[in-house]
Amino acid sequence: MELDNIKYFPPELCEEMTKFSREPMIRAVMLPKATNALGFIFGGVILSEFDLAASEEAMAVAGRRVVTKLIKEVDFVAPVQVGDWVSYYARTLSTGRTSVTVEVLVVAHRGVGRDRLYKVARGEAVFVAVDDEGYPAPLLNASKS
């Protein structure tokens, strides 16, 4: 991200983003079809992308298929608006024998220049690695505990 051109970027968000890799796991532009009755983006849409981003991180760490066990402590910090470009940053917090706990930070890039950044949500999710029958199976690439 070119910081020189950014017009709004709260220092606490800047600091929080340093914990994640520079590239988001997922990015999507929000269209009117995703709005709720208030005209903002429906939380379920954000949650769906949140789950996808987190599962990609968990699958990379697990080295095998994973399923979502738990989505917890999702804090919708600020509304997402139509036209926002939304980034989902994901990182592994911990691993167990079969589970991976992932943190996701959701950031909206607003404006034509995508030069105003807002923290819109943050949360954690637990994934369980599974075998072909869907039973818990050991992680193959575990590195964090």
Chain residues in the site for ligand COA (CB under 6 A): 67-70, 96-99, 126, 128, 130, 134, 136
Question: Least Å distance between CB 25 and ligand COA?
Answer: 18
CA 6 to chain centre: 21
Measured in residues, the chain has a length of 145
CB-closest chain residue to ligand COA? 96
3-state helix, strand, coil in the chain (%, to 5): 25, 40, 40
Residue closer to ligand COA (CB basis): 55 or 87: 55
What are the angstrom distances between the C-alpha of 2 and each of 15, 111, 120, 135? 16, 15, 20, 44
Identity of the residue, 64 or 114, whose beta carbon is nearer to ligand COA in the bound complex: 64
- Least separation, in Å, of the C-beta of 72 and ligand COA? 8
- Nearer to ligand COA by C-beta: 51 or 84? 51
Minimum distance, C-beta of residue 114 to ligand COA, in the bound complex (Å):
32
Amino acid in the structure at residue 142: A
How near is the Cβ of 127 to ligand COA at its closest, in Å?
Answer: 8
HSE toward the beta carbon, residue 39, CA cutoff 13 A: 0
Element (H, E) at 93: strand 85-95
Q: Judged by CB, which is closer to ligand COA: 107, or 126?
A: 126
